[in-house]
Amino acid sequence: QNTGIEKSSTDSTSSNKTPTIQGISDGSLSGLSERIDVNFLLRSSVDFPSGASNQASVNLNEARMELRGDVTPDLSFRIRYRLNRSFAQNSLDNAPGAVDHANLTYRFGTGKKWHLTAGKQSASVGSWEFDKNPTFEYQYTEYVNRQLNLFLLAMKLGYDVTENHTFQLQLHNTSNSNFNTIYNTTGYNTDGLRPSKTPFGLYVAWLGNLLDEKWQTFYSYNISQFARGKTDHAVSIGNQVVLDRFKAYLDLQSTNMSVDYPNIGSPAVNTFMAPTPGFTPVFLQDINYKTAVLRVDYEFIPKWFVTAKGFYETASHRKDSEIGDNFREHTGLLAGLEYKPIASQEMRLFSYYYYNTSQYNNAVGVSNPNQKLHLFSVGVLYFVNAL
């Protein structure tokens, strides 16, 4: 029975719910370990990548500290930061990339069905891939890794319709850096675009438990603005199945970006356009990104797990038929084996193989060679609940 994984493996959504412990006798030491969690997230592996310029290495893949607590039944806080990122603050939000969470949640109203979360927090995006605790997710789609603004300053309002259905509204910064910083980093021409006066976005999300919590839904819609007068739209549909010894998620998403500030598709188009006289690199406008990702975990004999993950992602630029649909395709396949020697502890020895390719099509394909990566990895992960 893999109940051990359930508590720690879902990450962001769990903090939206009402506190597990209702009867907190304030200040009483007997409840210390119930009131507070101190966690340490560790994953370290020996990685052997293919490619002429890649060196094998032992890596600190994940190292994050977490402190969270229920101070009163109405009020909780959460802090989580990475030990391997700079703590220098970003230009727009005054928060560093190292900090995932620095927020408080206040519950109010009849039956404490409403909650407000303020501070740095995870995006309310319908992605079970992102929702999984990073200790346990070896390789990510570009959707999670590069396209989304995962951890952002926001004010989130949630409402528990029933115990199994929650709705969320999240007002957030579109990007954590300001307009000028992003253009200075890439060196791109602004192409006549101006910074939005209110570079905000809004997530609308539904989190549901169906069929006795065996089927979990996380659906979201996002509207946001980066440049003045330019609006982005995104839909994410996440479904997860959790059985006794089997777990799987399937996430689907489609995003229309008026300005490609995540800069995933633009470099290939800029390379293609470079020979044009007078051309300067820009963020592509009116780009569409799509992702489908599936992960399956199965405990085939007690303590032993197989895991498999596959994803397919596309970038399209329909306005320009020469560049056109699916001008960039990004594919990944992962197959791994895990061994969990101690039943009570989320410590696993693992090994996996990962294959990843970026392929360029249509006009863009000529000037952009396809890219491939093979990676073999063997290591250990541990979600430590220190307190």
User: Given the complex with a second copy, which of 202 and 248 has the nearer CB atom?
Assistant: 202
* 46-68 burial: b if 16+ Cβ within 10 Å, else e: ebebeeeeeeeeeeebbebebbb
Which residues inside 127-166 make contact with a second copy, applying CB under 8 A?
152-155
User: Given the complex with a second copy, which of 104 and 273 has the nearer CB atom?
Assistant: 104
Q: Which residues contact 238 (CB under 8 A, 6 or more apart)?
A: 126, 127, 128, 129, 131, 217, 218, 219, 220, 249, 250, 251, 252
CA-CA-CA-CA torsion sign (179, 288, 192, 200) = negative
CB 238 within 8 Å of CB 249: yes
Which residues inside 296-355 make contact with a second copy, applying CB under 8 A?
341-342, 344-345, 347
Q: For residue 371, state whether it binds a second copy (rule: CB under 8 A).
A: no
Which residues inside 46-75 make contact with a second copy, applying CB under 8 A?
46, 48, 53, 55-61, 63, 65, 67, 69, 71-72, 74-75
Of 25, 33, 185, 280, the residue at the interface with a second copy (CB under 8 A) is 33
CB 151 within 8 Å of CB 100: yes
Burial tier of 321 (Cβ tally within 10 Å: 0-12, 13-18, 19+): exposed
Q: For residue 211, state whether it binds a second copy (rule: CB under 8 A).
A: no
DSSP sequence for 35-67:
HEEEEEEEEEEEEEE-STT---EEEEEEEEEEE
Q: d(Cα 273, Cα 364) in Å, to the nearest integer? A: 9
Structure tokens at 273: 């356009």
User: Given the complex with a second copy, which of 272 and 352 has the nearer CB atom?
Assistant: 352
Of 14, 24, 36, 324, the residue at the interface with a second copy (CB under 8 A) is 36
Q: From the centroid of its chain, how far is CA 90?
A: 19
Q: For residue 21, state whether it binds a second copy (rule: CB under 8 A).
A: no
Phi, psi (rounded to 5 degrees) for 170: -130, 110
User: Given the complex with a second copy, which of 13 and 103 has the nearer CB atom?
Assistant: 103
Give the nearest distance from C-beta 90 to a second copy in angstroms: 9
Give the nearest distance from C-beta 349 to a second copy in angstroms: 9
CB 48 within 8 Å of CB 60: no
User: Given the complex with a second copy, which of 225 and 358 has the nearer CB atom?
Assistant: 225
Of 3, 20, 22, 30, the residue at the interface with a second copy (CB under 8 A) is 30
Instruction: Kindly state the number of chain residues that form the binding site for a second copy, as judged by CB under 8 A.
Output: 84
Give the nearest distance from C-beta 133 to a second copy in angstroms: 16
User: Given the complex with a second copy, which of 58 and 161 has the nearer CB atom?
Assistant: 58
User: Given the complex with a second copy, which of 152 and 284 has the nearer CB atom?
Assistant: 152
- DSSP E strand stretches across 163-245: 165-173, 200-210, 215-225, 231-242
Give the nearest distance from C-beta 64 to a second copy in angstroms: 10
Q: d(Cα 281, Cα 267) in Å, to the nearest integer? A: 8
Which residues inside 167-196 make contact with a second copy, applying CB under 8 A?
171-173, 178-180, 195-196
Q: For residue 126, state whether it binds a second copy (rule: CB under 8 A).
A: no
Of 42, 204, 223, 308, the residue at the interface with a second copy (CB under 8 A) is 42
User: Given the complex with a second copy, which of 235 and 384 has the nearer CB atom?
Assistant: 384
User: Given the complex with a second copy, which of 42 and 235 has the nearer CB atom?
Assistant: 42
- Scanning 3-11, 112-120, 278-286, 293-301 for contacts with a second copy by CB under 8 A, the matching segment is 112-120
Of 4, 14, 24, 104, the residue at the interface with a second copy (CB under 8 A) is 104
- Scanning 1-9, 140-148, 159-167, 375-383 for contacts with a second copy by CB under 8 A, the matching segment is 375-383
Structure tokens at 72: 């009163």
User: Given the complex with a second copy, which of 312 and 382 has the nearer CB atom?
Assistant: 382
Q: d(Cα 327, Cα 365) in Å, to the nearest integer? A: 7
